[in-house]
């Protein structure tokens, strides 16, 4: 971990740096996602297009997101990264004037089907936002929030699940003696891990992280990255980031998005060492960004 976290921006930000980057990539997976057997696909996106009113923000995107791996989504800001992952838990439904075409299958089931319960879907596909957004309630109540929504849970079971959630998010040791204090008293990094604990407490199968560390200091960022490495054995993780080293460090697969189009989606190793598209290479070497 410590070897990976040190390098500065400039390492990758030069054409020769691409080769150097190979050493920084955490994952050894070299398969292309398109070669995955159907069983290993968690989210299957086909011909997804999205319009905000008349403005198109996603254009014919197709990708197969592998199960229990970390998939990074990179691209310049405004290219549609957030928009894309917000499609996976149908958060875009909340915005007036959005229209979506194409298919998204979660474990083989189309999420836009009429009989899909959106609340149920969102419990399966958890989401963590850029800025920590704990509720103005106690630490305990924050984690219990999603559990209570699912129905009445006995107090002892609730306690267990809250503890489990906080432990999974590597926060238990820091907060176990102040579960009843306001969550707003925690530091930014702790808040973000609390939000992750809140999301995993309801036991989703997919975790969407939208630039989860961009508002945090380096140490907290490190902790979040460690946490992601821990969690990927249990969850399918999709992380949006604008930090290339982060994508390289934490992810197994990387998708490069540009102006609403999916330019390239491949193993992280390939994207950072030997991308097929020149646009990808330009981006990861820092020619635009």
Partner 1 sequence: METSERLPQEHRKLFRERMNLGVWFKSGEPWVWLTATAVGTSIIAVLGLIGIIAVKGLAHFWPADVITFEYESELGEQQISGEVVQRERVPRAQFEESGAGRAIDISGDPTRLMIKSGNRRVNPPDFRWIYTHDITKQEKQQDLITFERLEWGNAYGTIVELRQDGNAVSTVNPWRELKKRIGRVVDLRRQAKSIQNRSIDRINYKLEKLRLKQRKRELQGNFNTSDLDWQREQLNQEYALREHELNDINVELDRDTVVIAIAGGRESVIPLKNIVRAWQPNAMNVFSKFGHYCASIWAFLSEGSREANTEGGVFPALFGTVLMVLLMSVLVTPFGVVAAVYLREYARQGVFVRLIRIAVNNLAGVPSIVYGVFGLGFFVYLVGGTIDSVFFQAAKPAPTFGTPGLIWASLTLALLTVPVVIVSTEEGLTRIPKSLREGSLALGATKAETLFKVVLPMASPSMLTGVILAIARAAGEVAPLMLVGVVKLAPTLPVDGNFPFLHLDRKFMHLGFHIYDVGYQSPNVDAARPLVFATALLLVIIIIVLNLTAITLRNRLEARYREAMN
Ligand X SMILES: Nc1ncnc2c1ncn2[C@@H]1O[C@H](COP(=O)(O)OP(=O)(O)O)[C@@H](O)[C@H]1O
Task: Provide the binding-site residues for partner 1, judged by CB under 8 A.
Answer: 89, 91, 94, 119-123, 126-127, 129, 131, 133-136, 145-146, 149-150, 182, 184, 195, 198-199, 202
Q: Choose the one of partner 1, Mg ion, ligand X, none that binds residue 129, judging by a C-beta under 5 to 8 angstroms depending on kind.
A: partner 1
Provide the CB-side half-sphere exposure for 57 (13 A, CA): 20
Contact status: 83 vs ligand X (CB under 6 A): yes
The nearest distance, CB 285 to ligand X, in angstroms, is 19
Q: Which two tokens stand for residue 33?
A: 């996602």
Contact status: 95 vs ligand X (CB under 6 A): yes
Contact status: 108 vs ligand X (CB under 6 A): no
Nearer Cβ to partner 1 (79/202): 202
* Interface map 52-91 toward Mg ion (x if CB under 5 A): ------------------------------x---------
Contact status: 52 vs ligand X (CB under 6 A): yes
Contact status: 79 vs ligand X (CB under 6 A): yes
- Residues near ligand X (CB under 6 A), total: 11
Binder of ligand X out of 81, 193, 223, 279 (CB under 6 A): 81
Contact status: 92 vs Mg ion (CB under 5 A): no
User: HEC states along the chain?
Assistant: CHHHHCCCHHHCCCCCHHHHHHHHCCCCCCCCHHHCCHHHEEEEEEEEEEEECCEEEEEEEEEEEECCCEEEEECCCCCCHHHHHHHHCCHHHHCCCEEEEEEEEECCEECCCCCCCHHHHHHHEEEECCCCCCCCCEHHHHHHHHHHHHCCCCHHHHHHHHHHHHHHCCCHHHHCCCCCCEHHHCCHHHHHHHHHHHHHHCCCCEEEEECCCCCCCHHHHHHHHHHHHHHCCCCEEEEECCCHHHHHHHCCEEEEEECCEEEEEEEHHHHHHCCCCHHHHHHHCCCCC
Nearer Cβ to partner 1 (197/248): 197
The nearest distance, CB 206 to partner 1, in angstroms, is 12
The nearest distance, CB 77 to ligand X, in angstroms, is 4
Nearer Cβ to partner 1 (29/141): 141
Contact status: 80 vs ligand X (CB under 6 A): yes
* Residue numbers at the binding site for ligand X (CB under 6 A): 52, 57, 75, 77-83, 95
The residues binding Mg ion (CB under 5 A) are 82
């Amino acid at each position: 971990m410590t070897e990976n976290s040190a390098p500065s921006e400039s390492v990758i930000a030069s054409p020769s740096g691409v080769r150097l980057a190979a050493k920084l990539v955490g994952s050894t997976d070299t398969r292309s996602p398109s070669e995955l057997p159907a069983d290993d696909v968690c989210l299957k996106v086909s011909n997804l297009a999205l319009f905000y009113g008349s403005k198109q923000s996603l254009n014919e995107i197709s990708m197969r997101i592998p199960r229990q791996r970390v998939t990074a989504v990179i691209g310049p800001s405004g290219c549609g990264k957030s928009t894309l992952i917000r499609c996976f838990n149908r958060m875009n439904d909340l915005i007036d004037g959005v229209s979506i075409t194409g298919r998204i299958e979660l474990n083989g089931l189309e999420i836009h089907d009429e009989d899909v319960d959106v609340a149920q879907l969102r419990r399966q596909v958890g989401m963590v936002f850029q800025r920590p957004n704990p509720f103005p309630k106690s630490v305990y109540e924050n984690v219990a929030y999603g559990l209570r929504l699912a129905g009445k849970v006995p107090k002892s079971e609730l306690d267990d699940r809250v503890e489990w959630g906080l432990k999974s998010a590597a926060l238990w040791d820091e907060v176990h003696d102040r579960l009843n204090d306001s969550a707003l008293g925690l530091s930014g990094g702790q808040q973000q891990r609390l939000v992750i604990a809140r999301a995993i407490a309801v036991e989703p199968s997919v975790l969407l992280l939208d630039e989860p560390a961009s508002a945090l200091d380096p140490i907290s960022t490190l902790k979040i990255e460690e946490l992601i490495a821990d969690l990927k054995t249990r969850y399918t993780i999709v992380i949006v980031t604008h930090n290339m080293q982060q994508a390289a460090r934490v992810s197994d697969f990387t998708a490069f998005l540009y102006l609403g189009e999916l330019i390239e989606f491949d193993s992280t190793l390939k994207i950072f060492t030997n991308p097929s598209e020149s646009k990808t290479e330009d981006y990861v070497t820092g020619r635009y960004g």
